[in-house]
Structure 1
Amino acid sequence: MLGEGPRSAARQAALLFAVAGILALAGTVLPFERPRLLGAVAAAALVAAAVAWWLPWERFGERAPLALCVPTLGLLSAATWALDGIAAGTAPFFMLMFAWVGLHFSAWAVAALALPAAAAYLTPLIAADRGPVAISGGAVFIPAMVVVGMLISRQVAHHRRSRAQVERMERWRAALSATLAHDVRSPLTTAQFAVETLAEDGPGLPKAQRDEIAGMAIRQINRIRRLASGLLDAERLDIHGGLRLDLEAVDLRKAVCEAIGYLSAPVAVEVPAGVRVRADPERLEQILVNLAANAIGHGALPVVVEAEAVGPDLVAIHVRDHGAGVPEDKRAVLFTRFSAADTNPQSVGLGLWITRELARAHGGDVAYAPQIPGSRFTVTLPAAPVEGSPRAGPREPARSPGCSPGKGAQR
């Protein structure tokens, strides 16, 4: 009965109905003019209690228990009439009803209940000719009920927000722990192995092999740095709502080839030479690594990165995998923080959310489209001036190590 949600709300209302019914039944022995009516009110209240307790309210929606206010007002009005228009016996239940609404529903629901409650309270007083003093008391009592209900509603909303903040902090703690446990340990182990190998056997190794081992260590250290930056970015986006970008013209093919060098599986690159975007190079790398790693971790090979112009001002970057795709019921939450669509126990559910926020910070966006088979994530970014135009920057080489121009490459 305690807790939140329609089931708990309805069962609390059932308890109020039961108490009202028992008290009304006890009142039938008192010298009122309408004991039978009071007995009928008692029986109806007990029936309403049973219905409120046993109905599957969770099937009808969060606001469904508000419908219980209708029989409540009817019973309270009838009980006031049966008590010869003496409101003292029913006024506490009017107040309890507003407190119950405030506990479980919004302040708007409390306000909407004001006029029906005023009618239910004043009608039997007027019909019983209780006099202007008793009736004018409603001018004080009814606003007081509404204010109490609204205060309770606002206070409950405040506590819910505070609880949500605590839960969010707990999610951050869990996210950080998961990242350290699953995403940092592997590159840290690799970097440690590389450093130990150089320390023990470095002088006896050929220069090319030493350079390869050192490069491996640097790549893994950079991977750890990006992971830390990702969590910091998420915190900055959450608290400050924005990021500082150092925008410049970036050769997209070169950026893709460098980004996939950090990944553990081959990725085909089918980005035409000469395509340039206006982006922060580090943030662009983060976007590309996030999407490609997501395709490797949740999809199936081959993973392909493509690009095409979308009008004169935008470039679309497509990351395609050939896996099972994203279930339809998960697509709406793909780009939310701590996404429920992410079923990988080693993922913290931040990658796609950060990717979307980074794309939007550049003036673009990211979207998902199902493929047969697989998934395709598309990032749109502003296009940079075409090489050779008056606004273009220095010419960059079209060929990058590990990517062969024109055919796509794997690394």
Structure 2
Amino acid sequence: MQRLFRVRPRAAARQSAALFALAGGLALLGILNDPMRARDLLLVSAADFVLAISTWFLPWRRWPRQRVALLALPGFVVLGFSTWAFGGVATGTGPFLVLLYAWAALHFSRKILLALLAPAAAAYVVPLVVTHQPPEILGSAVILLPVALAVALLIESQARHLRDDRERLARIERWRAAMIGTLAHDVRSPLTTVQMTLEEVREEATGQTARMLDAALRQTARIDRLATGLLDLNRIDTTGHLQLERQPTPAREAVCAAMTYLSSADVRIDVPHELMMCVDPERFEQIVVNLVGNALRYGKPPVIVTVTSDGSTDRIAVRDHGPGVSVELQARLFTRFGAGDKEGVGLGLWIVRQLAQAHGGEAHYESGDPGAVMVVTLPSIPLVSDGDQ
């Protein structure tokens, strides 16, 4: 349904097809109220359905959007014929004429709306004249046509503003994506050199110097993870998915490997040695790092990492013993930038959810009472569509 409301030639044409189909259906229903005019109603319905079908299947993508405005002309012809066939009764013509004008206003400029005024007036007035309607009936055109035009101009103005805003947001989004990608790449290159230098110095350091270098290495690892997160954000926005390389992975080894990027003194690992998971090891490590890092930052120790499996679903849970998460924040926890504060931009949990969904799983929050439990569930076996991830 969403496709019908995009500002594109095909979408505009299919909206008009829907209007013609609606008119055809109403004409058929009209037979129940007026069986004496069944033949005329069938002609009107047939004309509407022919217009609807042909309009739906014509190759509008190849033509300029303005050409779709010509569909209003056969619509006016059918409306005029309906009025004439019913002896000048314009009960259904007026509202449908306004509806056609509203459709045109959603897609076309004011110039086209003004150009359509003459055929719209002819479709409404000529059948009334031919059927010899009294002046008061003819005078209804003086009210209806300006009202239809005024409504159309208001809709056109709002639609134009919305299109302009959407184009502006699209330009901003393209600039943002380019900036994020460039920033992340530019940060990682010098960061690698800094990290290698710190590691070499750390090998010979002792005492307070060693502790300071350990802290510096943890912070460079944190910056590297942030850069990776920004690249993932950009990749998801661009392609809509992440590339995974799943393989059988020992769960405990993967969790322990993730802990090397964090201060693990306050972390307790409760993962069976024999448990195997079918995951992308690098992405799984990123899930654990983000969840544990979040627990250490916002919760209180001890932080407990557990991984269990019921044979069909693997469950990764990271629990802290802090104050938990307020009800107001729970709905925003796994949204992009939803849980950011002065210590971060709020990408960590959103990336966790994206990585979980890329594996065919999900992420959610549970209350630890006390504390918070961030849970990721993943399928225990490879998905059939794994090659499409």
TM-score category (smaller protein): 0.5 to 0.7
Q: Residue 316 of structure 2 aligns with which residue?
A: 317
Q: Is the 8 A contact 1:195 1:214 kept in 2?
A: no
After TM superposition, give the deviation of residue 323 of structure 1 in Å.
1.0
2:348 aligned residue (331, 334, 351): 351
Q: Which residues of 2 match residues 294-313 of structure 1 at below 5 A?
A: 294-309=294-309, 311-313=310-312
2:151 corresponding residue in structure 1 = 146
Mark the CA change 1:170 to 1:333 in structure 2 (over 3 Å): closer, same or farther: farther
Cα separation, partners in 2 of 1:218 and 1:247, compared to 1, 3 Å: farther
For 2:213 and 2:327, how far apart are their aligned partners in 1? 44
Secondary structure (helix, strand or coil) at the match of 1:316 reads strand
DSSP-derived class of the 1:333 partner: coil
**CA offsets 1:152-172 (integer angstroms, 9 cap, x no match):** 222222233345446656876
For the pair 1:194 / 2:199, whether they are aligned, the reply is yes
Residues 325 and 179 of structure 1: is their aligned pair in 2 closer, same or farther, counting only changes over 3 Å?
A: farther
1:159 and 2:164 matched: yes
1: distance between equivalents of 2:135 and 2:279? 77
Q: 1:168 to 1:322 in 2, by over 3 A?
A: farther
Partner SS for 1:334: coil
1:74-153 superposed matches below 5 A: 131-153=136-158
Give me the TM-score of the superposition, normalised by structure 2. Answer: 0.54
User: What's the RMSD between the two structures over aligned residues?
Assistant: 4.3
- CA offset digits 1:83-110 (Å, max 9, x no partner): xxxxxxxxxxxxxxxx9xx9xxxxxxxx
Distance in structure 2 (CA, Å) of the matches to 1:185 and 1:301: 34
Q: Which amino acid aligns with 2:326?
A: P
Q: Kindly state the Cα deviation for residue 370 of structure 1 after the two structures are TM-superposed.
A: 1.5
| Cα distance in 1 for residues equivalent to 2:235 and 2:182 | 19
**Which structure 2 residues correspond to residues 4-403 of structure 1 after superposition, within 5 A?**
131-165=136-170, 191-196=196-201, 224-266=223-265, 267-309=267-309, 311-339=310-338, 341-343=339-341, 345-384=342-381
C-alpha displacement at 1:366, in angstroms?
0.5
CA contact (8 A) 2:320 2:373 kept: yes
- Give CA deviations for 1:35-90 in whole Å, capped at 9, x if unaligned: xxxxxxxxxxxxxxxxxxxxxxxxxxxxxxxxxxxxxxxxxxxxxxxxxxxxxxxx
Distance, in Å, in 2 between the alignment partners of 1:290 and 1:336 is 14
Query: For residues 221 and 346 of structure 1, do their structure 2 counterparts lie closer, same or farther at Cα, with a shift above 3 Å needed?
Result: closer
Is the Cα contact below 8 Å between 1:368 and 1:375 reproduced in 2?
Answer: yes
Secondary structure of the corresponding residue to residue 374 of structure 2: strand
Q: Give, in whole Å, the separation in 2 of the partners of 1:179 and 1:264.
A: 24
Note the C-alpha offset of 1:336.
0.9
* Amino acid aligned to 1:321: D
How many angstroms does 1:328 deviate by?
0.3
Distance in 1, matches of 2:192 and 2:292, equals: 17
The answer to whether the 8 A contact 2:296-2:303 is kept is yes
What is the DSSP-based 3-state SS (H/G/I as helix, E as strand, rest coil) of the residue aligned with 1:193?
A: helix
CA shift for structure 1 position 298: 1.2
Higher RCO structure (Cα 8 Å, ≥6 apart): 1
Letter in 1 for 2:375: T
Partner residue in 1 for 2:41: none
- The sequence identity of aligned pairs, in percent, is 35
Whole-angstrom distance in 1 between the partners of 2:372 and 2:189: 27
2:313–2:380: 8 Å Cα contact kept in structure 1? yes
Name the aligned partner's letter for residue 340 of structure 2. Answer: D
CA contact (8 A) 1:194 1:213 kept: no
Partner AA of 1:262 in structure 2: Y
The corresponding residue for 1:42 is none
CA distance in 2, matches of 1:138, 1:157: 29
Distance change in 2, residues 1:379/1:281 (3 Å): same
Say if 1:299 and 1:321, in contact at 8 Å, map to a contact too: yes
Q: What letter matches 2:246 in structure 1? A: L
> In the TM superposition, what is the alpha-carbon distance from 1:244 to its structure 2 partner?
1.1
Count residues with an aligned counterpart: 249
Once the 2 structures are TM-superposed, how far is the Cα of residue 220 of structure 1 from its aligned partner? 7.1
- Helix, strand or coil at the partner of 1:236: helix
1:263 is aligned with what amino acid? L
Judged with a 3 Å threshold, the aligned counterparts in structure 2 of structure 1 residues 239 and 196 are, in CA distance, closer, same or farther, namely: same
Q: Is the 8 A contact 1:179 1:347 kept in 2?
A: no
Q: Structure 2 vs 1, CA of residues 165 and 302 (structure 1 numbering), >3 Å: closer, same or farther? A: farther
> 1:225: Cα distance to partner?
4.2
Alpha-carbon distance between aligned partners in 2 of 1:174 and 1:303, rounded to the nearest angstrom: 35
